[in-house]
Structures are given as structure tokens and as C-alpha cells.
A and B are shown apart, each in its own frame.
Chain A
């Protein structure tokens, strides 16, 4: 147990105390007790920056299930540290924001902060685990706590719907991830990521490599809301805004990005990885930005914007993997994609977090998030407006904010794809910059919608529920900090270069470095008249044009009918599955015993017959059989006649008597086959049984003397014949095959010698195999007691009285 382990589990420990603090100190907002923890953790993690920047990494091991190779290995390197700083840093700001956002009196704060702390701890666990199983455990904990947070206002139907949807999709992906982890661990024999990377040859040559990769990617794509699994994220906006800001923009949705980056050293050399990650990313980028423009809810815009930006980071990671194929080059132009991915990851967390908080403030102060109702808030909420401009312009990729820098690098990365001479990129590569450019135009348009439709234009006080005014200072602190970071990182990107970005890149693509070497990144505003610059100018020009003519072309969104959307497919799929399983249950489970018996008999007979003939078990061998005597033949005829009469009997009495005939004939058979004890027992028991049957018959309804025959029913007959034939064939086959002699010689020899009895059957019953008899007596006793209690106990009737 090291300090780092304690750090990871400290949010869980604090979560235990929260309800106590909430109950005992009602007058203080519970959030204040939570606030110090992420702050302290953030400061703790900053300690590692200098060490990690020098290329060190830290590993602390803790045994959990050593016999299965599952250890809680906490590991800090560039990538883990970057995420840990994001989680704790934005976590601090979000907690601070939530203190002012959530009401002390109206909300159940203890549950909120317990869920939030659970999430924080789980997220720290995901990014700081070296062991894949531990990573998976924390991964599912993030899904679970996210589910709880989305459904925080559980009285609302839409919250429950959104929570369920995100749960189903992310848990589906999580289970795929587990399968991928298991497949990955089979060839390498370990769950440790470092050891898998160290034994990479074994893993890549395994036939499980591609399935493992696809399953892991499925987990990453569902968590990071990549196309077509992005549909859960817009519905997750039913969560309180601090949750949306924290989970659904800055941290949890980046868990998939983290996973892709973390496992890049394992998979990135493979063509499938490049193709899947970059294509899915670029499709998500386009689809997210395209869909964001049509949203009328501010959080809806931000949700699709998050999807789009995550797609951008994902595609950059995919394109960056191409760098591994050019490691011999001195000037590896594909590395810039990895740099852009890491840089944009940080940038996105800052501006998206601030934008969510802005939207929360607008919602809080006006009572609505619908852009059709909002407008003209600029003069009323100047600070919020400023933050929104900074965040929105950074998102659109305008100078001098940090979004501009990462967008320029993004374009550089995408333009470089066209220069690739692998994976057919000479021909298809041109699609990447083109799609990226179009998507950036839409990004520009929705960013402008977000800023200007909310804060400029006509002020419509009659549509607002509250009279808007500037937010309280406490609520503004966090977005102000984030917005200043946007500006600081934009103006002075070099403060991040060597401390954060370079070590992170070293964990994403370690094979590009020789030992002791480090990446050297330099981010500048001005890099000459490059294609990227003209692309950005084009984005701005076309974007402004599109924004001004918005009402003219937004009709294209209505070209697609609602019925073919992905949401609709999800809803119908879910309803279809329920309906389908219901239908199967209704079809199979009819409630008629006869139907179940039909299935049981049909299955047993077919299974036996198939086995009998496929395994060559059927043969007829009469050499060892007894001859047919005249008495036996006559008795057989009588027995068969008796049995058949029970079926065709018009009255039940006839059926009972013919059952008796069969029983007595059986007794006669026992006589003929030299079994006197059996014959005696059979005679007595048959008599008693027939008497019992007659007793029951006597009590049957007199008012309903429907003495009808059994109705003929063809399936019944077929199944009955099938069972009969099966029994006959098995009987013949097994009397023809005697694999070894009977053990009865022992009983014959020892009955008198050992047991002192001459009746062998009785000696077997009470001496050699006495236990059978003991429990047979028990059966009779239980039957007798059961019958007695059935007749005596009349609880239902007594209750009725």
C-alpha cells in the first residue's frame, strides 16, 4: 500500500463519510467537505510533473489476487499523469461550481456527492492502473456511477431513460472490453500492460490479436461516444449540469480515448487499428458537428459538440499510429497528429468544461436552455458572456485561443495523410482533410450559434421563467479559471510542451524513441503560409456565410425522416428484443402440461434414437435369447389388448378395469418368469391400486358424467408411437449386447453362506442392498403422511370462514 494507492481509493473513503456529514452538519453545504479532496489530490499529482517530464515513470504494486496474476499496480507516466491532473483539477472546479449550482435545501446532496466521489475514484483508478483487470473493474465503476449521476433526478422519466440508455451502451462496450482483455492476456500470459508491451512479439503473432483489438476498440468507442454508439451522450444531458461538465465532457468520455492511447503501443502498428480508429473518429467528427447545428437545446449542442471533438481526438490518434511506420525518418511528419491529439485533449477539457458551466449558469438564471427562447443576455450577464465567447471561439478554432492551435495541428495531421504511401492512402487519403475541413465549418457554425443566439439578438423576457441577472460570484469562479486557462494555453502553449505533452506522447508511442531520448514539440501561432492556414481562413469565411444564412439551409435536416435515425433504431431494437423474447415465451410457455410433455417426449426419443443409430449401438442378436413359449405369447396378447382397451375405453370404469388387467397380466408374467416375490407383491399392489382408482372414480363429478373417449389427436399419437418405438429398439438392442456377465453369481453363491437366507431376492433386499429398502420405506411413509395431510389440512377453506 503506497500513497498512490491511498490517493486512488481516497474518494471512496470520503464517500463513506459524506452521508454522515450531510446529516450532522445541515447548515453547511456538503460540497465544502468534498472540495478539499480533489484539490489536495491535484497538488499531490503536480509533484510528479517534473519527474515524469524527465522521462521517469512510477510503479507501486499491491497484491490483490496474486494467484490469478491480478495486482493493483498503480502506475504513473505521462499519459496517466495528464489524465489524473485533468480529473482532479476539473473535479475541484466542478465541485466548487456545484456548491453554488445545487440548492442546499431542495437537493439530496449526500447522494450527489457520494456518486461524484465514487466516479472520481473510479476514474483515477482507470487512468492509473497498469493491470488490465483492475482497469476494467474501475471502468465498470465509472459506468455505474455515471448511470447513478445521470439518473440523479430519478423522478423524471427522461433522466431514467437517459441513464438506462447510457448504462446499456457503455456496459455492452465494457463487456466487450473485458473479452478483449482476456483475449489479450491469453498469448502473453499476463494482465499487466507494461509486460504485454514488453512481450509484444508473442501477442502480435497470435491469432487472437485482431479479435482482441476489435473488442477493446468496441469498449473504447462506446465509452467515448463514437459513431454509431454516440447516441447515449445527448440523452445523458438530463444529468445536473456539473455532472455533464465533469463526466460527459472532460473525463469519462475520454476514458475511451485514454484506452486507445494507452494500448497504442500494443496495437498501433497494425493496419486494422489505423483504419478503424481514424475512420470511426473522422465519421464521428463529421456526424457530431453536423448534428450539433440542428439542436435547439444548449446542452444538446454541447453534447454533439463533445461527440464531434472526441471523434477528432480519436481520428488524430488513429492517424498518429501511422508514425510508427515511418520511424526511420528524421522528420516524422505523422508525429504531429499525436501531439495534436494530446494537446486538443487538454484544450477540449478546458473550454468544454467552461461552456457547460456557462450553459448551467444560463439555465440557472433564466430557467431555460432553449436557444429559441434565449437572446440578448449580453448586457445582463457580461461575465458569463465573456466566458462563453472565449470558450466558443476556442471551440471554433479561432486565434488567439488554444483551440486555434490544436485545430491547426489537426489540419496538419490530416493533410499529411495524403502523403502516406501505405494502406491505399494515396487515393483515399484525400478524404481525410476534406471531411475534416467540412466538419470544422459546422463546428464553427454551432459555436457561433451557441454564443450569439444566446447572448445577442432580441431579448425575450416574456418567454423566460425567471428574470435573468448575472450569476453569483461563486458560480463564476470555476468557468473563469477554465476560460483563463483557455487563453493562457493559447498564448503560451510552451508551458505545456515539455511538462505534459512530451511525456504523454512518449507513453502513447514509446517505440518512436530511442532509449534516453525525448520528444521535442514546439507549438507556435505562426508557421507561415501553409495549407492549414488557408484551410482555417476558409473555415472562417464559409462558416460566417453559413451562420448568416442559417434559416435558409437548415431545412436539409428535415430531409432525413425521423424514422431512420440511430435513436429510433436503438428504441425499436430495444422494443423489438422485448417483444421478441415475450413472443418466444408466449409461444413456448403455453401453460398446457400436454405441450410441455410433447416437447419432453419428442426430445428424449429423438436424442436416444439419433445416438442409437449414429453410434452404431443397434443390432439384433438372437443367439443368447430365450425361446418364445406359448403361455408367454398368450399373455402378451392379453396384455397388449388390455393396454389398448384403456385408450379406446368409452367410460373411465372400463379404462380402470383394463388397467387392472394389464397389472394382473404382469403378475402372471412374473409367475412365468420365475419371480414369486414379484408376483405376490404385484397382485396385492394392483388390487390396492385398482381400489384406489375406483375410489377416485366414485368421487368424480356426478353432474358431469361426460363419458367421452379420449379425443383423437394426431401429434399425440405420433409422439406416443415414437416413444414406443424408441423403447422397443433400446430394449432389443440392449438385450442383444451383453458386454459383461451379470454379478448375480455372487448373490447365488453367498446368499446362504454370508447372509443365512435361501430366498435370494429377500436377502438382496434386506441384507446385500438394505439401504434401498430403508429409503423405499421412507418413500412409503412420506406418501402416507402426504396423503393424510392433504386430506386433513384445509387451510384455504378455514381462511374463507
Chain B
């Protein structure tokens, strides 16, 4: 199972990197979104996917899944959401001001300070 999940997150990384290398800002943001999904999946996989009950003590099960990676992922989800939304609004404002979402046009000039 871990191997399958590693491959899936590998594919997510490939897609994300490919999108991040494109010219449109929106695609770059989509790329970062997929990248964070890949990272979260990878974090969960690294923690081990062995069968166990949900980490709620009320279940009284003999084994629980590892709660620590889940806590880490939860933090990561929230932070990446914050960054993504900031980034989106930045792109929106950049488009409003500059009239383009093409990264190649946003490179500036040598003489600009």
C-alpha cells in the first residue's frame, strides 16, 4: 500500500512541477495546490498505513493509527490554505494592475529598479 501511495504522490509531484513550470499564473497556483496535496498524502504514507482504529480513545481498540502525522498534516493543510488564498488574491491583484497573467511578461526589465 505504501508503495502505491508513494507512486500516487510521485505522480502528483510530477503534475505539480509540470504545471508550476508553465506561463500562466493560474496554472502555477493549481500546481502548488496539487503539490500540497501530494505532500500531505506523502506525510500520511510516511507515518505508516497499517490498519488500526481512528485515533479516538472512545473506540477502545487494541491498536490506533498514528495520531502525530495527522496533527502535522492538519497544521500543514491550514497553512497551505492560507498561503494559497494569499497567492490567489495576489495573482488577482497583479492581473488587475498589470493586465496580464503571463509569467513571461511579468519578468520586468533590466533597467527597472
Question: Which residues from chain A contact B52 at a C-beta distance below 8 Å?
Answer: 674
Further pairs besides A652-B24, A697-B26, A744-B67: 17, Cβ < 8 Å: A640-B11, A652-B27, A662-B34, A662-B37, A673-B49, A696-B29, A710-B22, A716-B22, A720-B13, A720-B15, A732-B2, A744-B66, A758-B56, A758-B57, A759-B56, A784-B82, A790-B93
Question: Which residues from chain A contact B83 at a C-beta distance below 8 Å?
Answer: 779, 783
Q: How far is the CA of A629 from the CA of B50 in the complex (A)?
A: 12
Question: Which residues from chain B contact A674 at a C-beta distance below 8 Å?
Answer: 52-55, 65
Pairwise interchain contact B68-A742, C-beta atoms closer than 8 A: yes
Known: A663-B37, A761-B74. A728 touches B6 (CB 8 A): yes
Question: Which residues from chain A contact B82 at a C-beta distance below 8 Å?
Answer: 779-780, 782-784
Known: A663-B37, A744-B68. A699 touches B49 (CB 8 A): no
Question: Which residues from chain A contact B15 at a C-beta distance below 8 Å?
Answer: 643-644, 646-647, 720, 724
Pairwise interchain contact A663-B33, C-beta atoms closer than 8 A: yes
Interface string of A684-705 (1 = CB under 8 A from B): 0100110011011101110000
Question: Which residues from chain B contact A685 at a C-beta distance below 8 Å?
Answer: 77-78, 81
Tell me how many residues of B have a C-beta within 8 Å of chain A. 84
Question: Which residues from chain B contact A640 at a C-beta distance below 8 Å?
Answer: 8, 11
Known: A682-B77, A685-B81, A758-B56. A764 touches B11 (CB 8 A): no
Q: Is A725 interfacial (CB-CB < 8 Å)?
A: yes
> Which residues A20-57 have CB closer than 8 A to chain B?
none
Known: A710-B19, A760-B55. A769 touches B2 (CB 8 A): no
Which positions in A face B, CB cutoff 8 Å? 590-594, 597-598, 601, 620, 622, 624-629, 632-633, 636, 639-640, 643-644, 646-647, 652, 655-656, 659, 662-663, 666, 669-670, 673-678, 681-682, 685, 688-689, 692-693, 695-697, 699-701, 710-711, 713, 716-717, 719-721, 723-725, 727-728, 731-732, 734-735, 742-744, 747-748, 751-752, 758-761, 764-765, 769, 772-773, 776, 779-780, 782-784, 786-787, 790-791, 796
> Which residues B42-74 have CB closer than 8 A to chain A?
42, 44-58, 64-68, 70-71, 73-74
Of A643, A682, A713, A747, the contact of B21 (CB 8 Å cutoff) = A713
Pairwise interchain contact B55-A759, C-beta atoms closer than 8 A: yes
Closest-CB distance, B97 to chain A (whole angstroms): 7
Which positions in B face A, CB cutoff 8 Å? 1-15, 17-24, 26-27, 29-30, 33-34, 37-38, 40-42, 44-58, 64-68, 70-71, 73-75, 77-79, 81-86, 88-93, 95-97, 99, 101, 103-104, 107-108, 110
Q: How far is the CA of A385 from the CA of B54 in the complex (A)?
A: 108
Known: A656-B30, A688-B81, A758-B56. A720 touches B86 (CB 8 A): no
Pairwise interchain contact B12-A643, C-beta atoms closer than 8 A: yes
Closest-CB distance, A331 to chain B (whole angstroms): 73
Pairwise interchain contact A678-B41, C-beta atoms closer than 8 A: no
Q: How far is the CA of A599 from the CA of B4 in the complex (A)?
A: 29
Q: How far is the CA of A589 from the CA of B44 in the complex (A)?
A: 38
Pairwise interchain contact A678-B74, C-beta atoms closer than 8 A: yes
Question: Which residues from chain B contact A782 at a C-beta distance below 8 Å?
Answer: 82
Q: How far is the CA of A594 from the CA of B22 in the complex (A)?
A: 7
Question: Which residues from chain B contact A627 at a C-beta distance below 8 Å?
Answer: 1
Question: Which residues from chain A contact B34 at a C-beta distance below 8 Å?
Answer: 643, 646, 659, 662
Pairwise interchain contact A639-B14, C-beta atoms closer than 8 A: no
Pairwise interchain contact A647-B93, C-beta atoms closer than 8 A: no
Pairwise interchain contact B81-A689, C-beta atoms closer than 8 A: yes
Q: How far is the CA of A693 from the CA of B54 in the complex (A)?
A: 32
Question: Which residues from chain B contact A594 at a C-beta distance below 8 Å?
Answer: 21-23, 103-104
Pairwise interchain contact B21-A597, C-beta atoms closer than 8 A: yes
Pairwise interchain contact B45-A735, C-beta atoms closer than 8 A: yes
Question: Which residues from chain A contact B7 at a C-beta distance below 8 Å?
Answer: 728
A selection of 11 A-B contacts at a CB cut-off of 8 Å is A597-B21, A625-B50, A632-B4, A636-B4, A659-B34, A666-B40, A695-B92, A721-B14, A731-B6, A772-B71, A773-B75
Question: Which residues from chain B contact A593 at a C-beta distance below 8 Å?
Answer: 103, 107
Q: How far is the CA of A632 from the CA of B89 in the complex (A)?
A: 35
